[in-house]
Amino acid sequence: MDRLRGNDRCWCGSGRKHKKCHGDVRVLQRPPVQLGAVSAPREVPAEIQRPDYVSVGSITTDTGYQVHTPEELERMRVACRVAAEVLSTTGAAVAPGVTTEELDAIAHEAYIERGAYPSTLHYGGSRDYPKSICTSVNGVVCHGIPDDRPLAEGDIVNVDVTAFIEGMHGDTSATFCVGALDVATQGLVETTREATLRGIAAVAPGEPLVRIAEAIEPFAASRGYSVVREYGGHGIGRTFHAAPHINHCITPGDSQRFETGMTFTVEPMLTTGVDSYRQAGDGWTECLVDSMPSAQFEHTVLVTDVGVEILTVDSSGRSPAGTLADLEAEATPA
Ligand SMILES: [Zn+2]
Determine, yes or no, domain membership for 168. Answer: yes
Determine, yes or no, domain membership for 25. Answer: no
Quick: pLDDT tens for 39-82.
999 999 999 999 999 999 999 999 999 999 999 999 999 999 99
13 Cα to the center of ligand 1, angstroms:
7
Q: How many helices (H) and strands (E) does the chain have?
A: 7, 15
210 Cα to the center of ligand 1, angstroms:
29
Neighbours of 284 (CB within 10 A): 21
130 Cα to the center of ligand 1, angstroms:
39
16 Cα to the center of ligand 1, angstroms:
7
20 Cα to the center of ligand 1, angstroms:
8
Determine the Cα–Cα distance for residues 178 and 158; give it in Å rounded to an integer: 11
The residue segments making up the domain with residue 258 are 65-330
Determine, yes or no, domain membership for 124. Answer: yes
Residue 273 confidence (pLDDT) = 83
156 Cα to the center of ligand 1, angstroms:
18
Answer for the pair 206, 257: CB distance below 8 angstroms, yes or no.
Answer: yes
Residue 333 confidence (pLDDT) = 60
Distances 31 to 242, 281, 285, 287 between C-alpha atoms, Å: 36, 18, 16, 12
Determine the Cα–Cα distance for residues 211 and 229; give it in Å rounded to an integer: 15
In our burial notation (b when 16+ CB lie closer than 10 A, e otherwise), range 133-170 reads bbbbbbbbbbbbbbbebebeebbbbbbbbbbbbbbbbb
Answer for the pair 196, 266: CB distance below 8 angstroms, yes or no.
Answer: yes
Determine, yes or no, domain membership for 31. Answer: no
Q: Total structural domains in the chain?
A: 1
Name beta bridge partners: 329: none
Answer for the pair 160, 134: CB distance below 8 angstroms, yes or no.
Answer: yes
- The CATH number of the domain holding residue 219 is 3.90.230.10
270 Cα to the center of ligand 1, angstroms:
16
81 Cα to the center of ligand 1, angstroms:
35
On the question of a cis peptide bond just before residue 293, with omega within 30 degrees of 0, the verdict is no
Determine the Cα–Cα distance for residues 194 and 155; give it in Å rounded to an integer: 20
Residue 209 confidence (pLDDT) = 96
Determine, yes or no, domain membership for 56. Answer: no
Determine, yes or no, domain membership for 41. Answer: no
Query: Side-chain half-sphere of 72: how many Cα atoms within 13 Å?
Result: 15
Q: Is the dihedral of CA 136, 142, 146, 147 positive or negative?
A: negative
Which portions of the chain are predicted below pLDDT 50? none
- Backbone angles phi and psi of 161, in degrees to 5: -115, 135
Residue 290 confidence (pLDDT) = 86
184 Cα to the center of ligand 1, angstroms:
7
Determine the Cα–Cα distance for residues 75 and 302; give it in Å rounded to an integer: 13
Determine, yes or no, domain membership for 18. Answer: no
106 Cα to the center of ligand 1, angstroms:
35
23 Cα to the center of ligand 1, angstroms:
7
197 Cα to the center of ligand 1, angstroms:
21
Determine, yes or no, domain membership for 311. Answer: yes
